[in-house]
Structure 1
Amino acid sequence: MNPQHLSSRLTGALALCAACSSCALVIGAEWDRYSEGAPGSAGTGGATSGAGSAGAPPEEACTPRAMEPCYEGRAQTRDVGSCRSGTRVCNEEGTSWGPCSGQTLPSDEDCATDADEDCNALACGQASWARAFPANAASAIATTDAAGNIYLAGSFVGFIDLGGRRLTPSSATGPDLFVAKLDRRGELVWARQFDETGDNYTPYGIASAGDDGVVFFGWIDQFPIDFGGGPITGDRGGSYIVRLDGAGDYVWQQFYADDSLTDLFIDGSGDIVVSSALGSAPEPGHITQINAKTGATVRSVRTCDEPDGGDCVDEALRRHVAGGPENTVIALSDDTNTRDRATVRTYDSFLKHRWSVDLTSPDGEVDTLDLASDERGGIYVMGGFRGRLQIGDGVTLSTSTAARRETFLVKLSPSGEYEWGKSFGDTGQQVNWQMSASDAGDITLLGNFSGSVDFGGGTLATTTTTDEDLDLVVAKLDAGGSHLWSRQFVNSGGQTWPSGVLIDADNTVLLAGILVGAVVDFGTGALGSADGEAVFLARVPPP
C-alpha cells in the first residue's frame, strides 16, 4: 500500500479521537491492514473482531472470495488520464486481500504523445493554476522559497489588487513600491507597501532567503524612502538592497551611492552574492558577498583586475551572477561598447578567479540575456547574436543570414568546456527571455516572440503581423539540450512582458510577468483584459 494512502487513512482515524474513546483501536486496525509486520499490542486484534490475542490479525478482514476495486496510486490520479483502477480478491480464509491486479499507475509523462501518463489531467506545459492581479502601471518580479511560497516585488501607480488586499499609492504622484508573499496557490499571505517620492524605485532583483524571508534590490534617485531602518537620503542616485523576514518585517537595508546592482543570488551558506556595474561601493564591475543576517560586506572582487578582466566601463551595463557547487560563483557580462564579446568567469567561495571563457562575434554582435547553473556544475548562457558566435577557441554557431538576429543557448561544463549550443528564431522578434535550471539540469525558457520559433518539438508560429502583439512561449529542454516540451500562449492583443521563470524543488515551473491590454489563456481560462493591466502568475506542474 502506498505510504501516502496509509498516512491519509491514519489521519482520518486520528480525526475520530475527539468523538471516539476507542481511537487507538481504530488506528491499530488500520496499521494491521496496511503494514507488513505491524507491531502488535494487547487487544488490538480483538478490538476489531471481538476476540484475539496480542498482535493477532482480525478473524475476518474480508468476505472470502469477495472482489473489489483497488488502486495504489495517489487518490487524485485514480481513473484520470492513463491511470486505471484494478481489482483485488479476498483469500479463502477471509483474512487478507490479494494483490491489486490490472491497475495502471502514474508514470513519467511522454510529451511526444497525447496520452496523460502522469495522470494529472494536464497537457505538457499546461498550468495547474493561473492568476491575474489587476493593476495600473505596475511592474513585478518573483521568486519562490523551498516550500513553494511566492514572493513578488514591484511598483504601481494607480493600484494593485493582490487578491485579498488592494493597495493604492500613498501620494497622488506615486508610484509606490510593494513586496508580497503568496502561498503555493497564489493566495495572499501578506503585503508591504513603501511610499515613494520619485518614480524610479522599481525592484530589479529578488531572491528567497530560505525560510528567513526575501532579499530584493533596485535603483533610487529621488529621496527619501524608508524600508523600516530609517529614511534613505542622498544627493545622488544609487542602489538599495533590503531584507525582510518571512513575516514581512524589516531586517536590514543598505544603500550604495552611484552604484548599479545588476543581479543577485543566495549561496549555499546563506550569504547574498550581488553583481554591480557602476559606482563606488561596491566599485565598478564588482562581485560582492554580503552577510545575509547583517547586510555587511564579507568580501568583494573587482572582475576587471583579473588577468583576462578587460575594461570595466565597457562591461558595465549587463552583468549576471549564479551559484555553482561548493559556493562557487559564476559571472556573465558583455561588452556594451563594441558588442562583440561576452565573458563567463568563475570564482571559488573566496572569490578567487578560477577560469574564463569568451563568447565572441567576429563579424556581428553578441549580448547576454540570462545565466543559470545546475547542482552538477553545468553552466547555461543565453543571449542574442548576429552572424557568427564563437565559444572559446572552438565551436561556432551561425545565424542563417548575417543580418538576422537569433537567440542562442550554450551549455558549458564545470571546467568551462563547450558541451552543446543551440540557436533559434527567425526574422521576427524573440525578446525578454528568462531562464531557469533545475538541479538535474533541465532548462526552462520563457520569452516573447513573433514569427516562428522551434525548440526541437516542431514550429510554433504567431498569427500577428506586427512585432508588438507578441505571444508568450515556454519551453523545457533536458540537460543534453534535447526538447522535452514547448508551449505557446497566444496573446489576443496588447503586450505581454515576462519577468521570471522559476523552478521549485519538486520541478514545478512558475511563470511571472505583466499583461498590458492583453488576454492570455494558460490553460485554465482567459486572464487579463483588453483595456486593463495585470500582474500574472501561472504554475506548471512537472510532466
Structure 2
Amino acid sequence: MPGSVVACYTGPAGTNGVGSCASGTQTCRHDGFGYGPCTGEVTPARERCATPEDESCDGEPRCAQPPPWARGFGGPGIDEGWAIASDAYGNYYVSGSFEGTVDFGTGPLTSAGRSDIFFLKLDAAGSVLWSHRFGTQDNEHGGALTVDENGNVLLTGTYRVLPDQPGLDLNGCHLPAVNDYYTAFFVTQFDPDGNPIWCNGPYPSSDTRSVEQIAVDAHGDMYVVYLQWESAYLLKIDAASKSTLWVEGLPGYYVGGARLALDSTGNPVAVVTEGSSITDLFPSQFVVSKYAPTGDLLWLQHYQSSSDPWMGGGVTAHAVAINAEDEIFVTGDTDGSIDFGSGVLPAGSVLVKLDAAGEPMFSRSVRFGDRIALAPSGDIIIGGVGLAQLDASGTELWSVNFDAHAQDISWSPNGAVGVVGRAAGPVDFGTGPIAYGGGYADAYVATFNPPRSGDGTIALTGAVERATDFGDGPVPYAAGADAFVATMTP
C-alpha cells in the first residue's frame, strides 16, 4: 500500500540486532510499485577499539589483540624514533629522524641533508602502511605527535632552512624558510592516509632544541611544550587560525626536559627538570605546574634535592599523565634525599601521584621512570630500559626488560603497548632480534601485550592437569599437562 512502512536490513545475515547493528525502515512508493531506500539502519562497520560498542556486529565488542612484534629501521647513520601514538583502531603513528638511506617498509627513503624527518603508519600487526620523508639540505628532526578525536594526526618537528633556500615541503604542504638562521618548529595535521590537511610554521623565530609534547583540547586548540636554549615554554595554538594565542615560559633554568598533559577541562599540566645553578649540568629539582586555558598559572610544586650537585645529587621529572579524575602522575628519578609526601624514597626511579590541586597523594619506588601512559582501567605503564605495568595504586603487575631506551610509549585501545626509540644493535624485544642497519643507532618500534589489557581484563596462560573451570565451564582436557589460555575481569 502506498505510504506503508516496513522494516528493512541490508547487512550480512546474522548481524541484525547484534552489537550496534539495527534494522531501518523503508516506505512504499506513492505509485505502489516497490519501496524506497532503507533508512536508519546500522550495518557492520570497522571495529573501533576505543569504544565499548560492537561496531562490527560480530558479538565481540573488543578488538582482537595481535601477537607482539618488533621492527628495526636503520642504515649507516643515526636513526631514532621520537614519538608514537595509537588511533581508535589500534594503528600506530611514529615520528623520528634518520640519516642516509633507510627502508621503512614501503621502499627506500634518502635524506636530503644530514638528518631528515620520518613519519610512519603501522597497523596493529606491525605492517608499515605508508612512510614519508621530510627534509632539506639542513637538519630536520621529528618531534611529538598525537591523534585527535577525528582520527587525524598532529605532527611536530624542528627545521632550519636558510633564508636564501626553499622552505620545507611536508608532502605537498609548504613551510617558509626560517629567518635569522635559527631552528624553529612546525605543526602539521595529516589525515589517516598521510595527506596533509594544513601545516603552519615557524613557531617561534628563536632557536628551538626540540618539541617535547603536543596535546589537543576539546575545542581543537593545541598545546605544545618545547625547549629553547636553556628554557622550556608552553605555547597554545588556536584551532581555527593556527596562530599562537599565548606563550608562557615554564618555571626553571638550565632546563633538561619538559613534558605536558591536559586534564578533563583543558588545563595543561607541565613538568620541567631544572639544572643546578651551580654546575649548569646536574639536575637539582623538578617543577610541576598547572595552567588555565588562558595561560594563567594556577599552582606549582617544587621538588628539590638537598644533595650536593657536584656529587651527582639531584632529581628529575621525565613524564606526566592525568587520569579521568584529574589526578596527576609524574615519573622521574630521585637521589634518595626527597620526601614526595609518603616518606623519603631510596635513590632510583619514582612515581609520584598528586591530586588535581597539586597536593601529594602517594609516591612509590618503581622499576622505570622515563615515560608513562595510562589505560582507561586506571592501570599505569611506565617505561625506560623496559616496561612495567602497575595498578592504580602503583603496585607492579608485570614487567619486561630490553636493551634499548623507550623514548615514547602509547597504550593502544586493543590493550597492547607500543614503544619507540633507538637501539644500538639487533635488540630482541621478545619476538627475536630486530633488523639492524649497522650504524650508530637504529630506530625501532615494538609492541607488548601486558597480562592485563586496557579495559581491565586479565589474560592468563599456563598448564592444567585436569578439566579446570575458569568461570565459563571446564576447559577441554586430554591427558598429562595441557596448555590453557583464559581471560578474567576483576
TM over 0.5: yes
Amino acid at match of 1:183: D
Task: Name the count of aligned residue pairs.
Answer: 382
Corresponding residue for 1:265?
215
In structure 2, C-alpha distance between the alignment counterparts of 1:317 and 1:31, rounded to whole Å: 55
Corresponding residue for 1:248?
194
Amino acid at match of 1:236: Y
Question: Contact between 1:259 and 1:276, CA under 8 Å: does it hold in 2?
Answer: no
Residue 323 (structure 1) shift: 0.8
Range 369-378 or range 246-255, more displaced: 246-255
Q: 2:394 aligns with which of 478, 481, 491?
A: 481
Residue 381 (structure 1) shift: 0.9
Q: Which runs of 5+ in 1 are unaligned?
A: 1-9, 15-26, 40-105, 107-118, 305-311, 400-404, 449-472
Radius of gyration: which is bigger? 1
Residue 424 (structure 1) shift: 4.4
In structure 2, C-alpha distance between the alignment counterparts of 1:276 and 1:386, rounded to whole Å: 26
Question: Contact between 1:143 and 1:151, CA under 8 Å: does it hold in 2?
Answer: yes
Question: Contact between 2:345 and 2:364, CA under 8 Å: does it hold in 1?
Answer: no
Residues 389-447 of structure 1: CA deviation (Å, up to 9, x unaligned): 133xx443232xxxxx511111112222222212246xxxx78x222122333211121
Distance 1:238 1:157, change over 3 A: closer
Matching of residue 381 in structure 1 with residue 341 in structure 2: no
Percent sequence identity is: 22
Alignment of 1:367-406 (within 5 A): 367-391=316-340, 394-399=341-346, 405-406=347-348
Residues 203-256 of structure 1: CA deviation (Å, up to 9, x unaligned): 232222343532233333453541322432322323212213213233112111
Residue 501 (structure 1) shift: 1.0
Residue 168 (structure 1) shift: 1.8
Alignment of 1:314-329 (within 5 A): 314=253, 316-329=255-268
In structure 1, C-alpha distance between the alignment counterparts of 2:334 and 2:102, rounded to whole Å: 37
Distance 1:343 1:407, change over 3 A: same
Residue 167 (structure 1) shift: 1.0
In structure 1, C-alpha distance between the alignment counterparts of 2:231 and 2:326, rounded to whole Å: 27
Amino acid at match of 2:432: G
Amino acid at match of 2:223: V
Q: 1:181 aligns with which of 113, 118, 121?
A: 121
Residue 315 (structure 1) shift: 5.4
Distance 1:31 1:420, change over 3 A: closer
Aligned residue for 1:178, secondary structure, equals strand
Residues 102-158 of structure 1: CA deviation (Å, up to 9, x unaligned): xxxx9xxxxxxxxxxxx98x9xxxx53333334442122222222322212222112
Which structure dedicates a bigger proportion of its chain to helix? 1
Which structure dedicates a bigger proportion of its chain to strand? 2
In structure 2, C-alpha distance between the alignment counterparts of 1:357 and 1:265, rounded to whole Å: 22
In structure 2, C-alpha distance between the alignment counterparts of 1:291 and 1:317, rounded to whole Å: 28
Corresponding residue for 1:343?
287
Distance 1:31 1:132, change over 3 A: closer
In structure 2, C-alpha distance between the alignment counterparts of 1:373 and 1:416, rounded to whole Å: 12
Aligned residue for 2:384, secondary structure, equals strand
In structure 2, C-alpha distance between the alignment counterparts of 1:408 and 1:438, rounded to whole Å: 19
Residue 374 (structure 1) shift: 1.4
In structure 1, C-alpha distance between the alignment counterparts of 2:406 and 2:226, rounded to whole Å: 23
Question: Contact between 2:232 and 2:250, CA under 8 Å: does it hold in 1?
Answer: yes
Corresponding residue for 2:79?
138
Corresponding residue for 2:420?
512
Distance 1:360 1:186, change over 3 A: same
Corresponding residue for 1:195?
135
Range 531-540 or range 369-378, more displaced: 531-540
Corresponding residue for 2:298?
354
Q: 1:233 aligns with which of 157, 174, 178?
A: 178
Distance 1:342 1:284, change over 3 A: closer
Distance 1:530 1:299, change over 3 A: closer
In structure 2, C-alpha distance between the alignment counterparts of 1:234 and 1:241, rounded to whole Å: 14
RMSD of the alignment, in Å? 3.5
Amino acid at match of 2:259: H
In structure 2, C-alpha distance between the alignment counterparts of 1:245 and 1:286, rounded to whole Å: 25
Question: Contact between 2:420 and 2:443, CA under 8 Å: does it hold in 1?
Answer: yes
Corresponding residue for 1:286?
233
In structure 2, C-alpha distance between the alignment counterparts of 1:268 and 1:323, rounded to whole Å: 10
In structure 2, C-alpha distance between the alignment counterparts of 1:300 and 1:285, rounded to whole Å: 10
Distance 1:345 1:214, change over 3 A: same
Distance 1:377 1:230, change over 3 A: closer
Q: Which runs of 5+ in 2 are unaligned?
A: 1-8, 24-59, 278-282, 308-312, 454-458, 460-490
Question: Contact between 1:513 and 1:537, CA under 8 Å: does it hold in 2?
Answer: yes
Corresponding residue for 1:501?
409
Corresponding residue for 2:40?
none
Residues 473-498 of structure 1: CA deviation (Å, up to 9, x unaligned): 21000111111111223x4xxxx232
Aligned residue for 1:387, secondary structure, equals coil
In structure 2, C-alpha distance between the alignment counterparts of 1:212 and 1:221, rounded to whole Å: 29
Distance 1:285 1:138, change over 3 A: closer
Distance 1:531 1:275, change over 3 A: closer
Distance 1:176 1:300, change over 3 A: closer
* TM-score normalised to structure 1 length: 0.62
* TM-score normalised to structure 2 length: 0.69
Amino acid at match of 1:367: T
Aligned residue for 1:147, secondary structure, equals coil
In structure 2, C-alpha distance between the alignment counterparts of 1:300 and 1:175, rounded to whole Å: 28
Residue 527 (structure 1) shift: 2.0
Distance 1:384 1:415, change over 3 A: same
In structure 2, C-alpha distance between the alignment counterparts of 1:361 and 1:504, rounded to whole Å: 36
Distance 1:187 1:358, change over 3 A: same
Distance 1:209 1:239, change over 3 A: farther
Amino acid at match of 2:121: K
Corresponding residue for 2:474?
none
In structure 1, C-alpha distance between the alignment counterparts of 2:148 and 2:182, rounded to whole Å: 26
Range 142-151 or range 327-336, more displaced: 142-151
Aligned residue for 2:265, secondary structure, equals helix
Question: Contact between 1:145 and 1:211, CA under 8 Å: does it hold in 2?
Answer: no
Residues 281-307 of structure 1: CA deviation (Å, up to 9, x unaligned): xx9653221124542123333445xxx
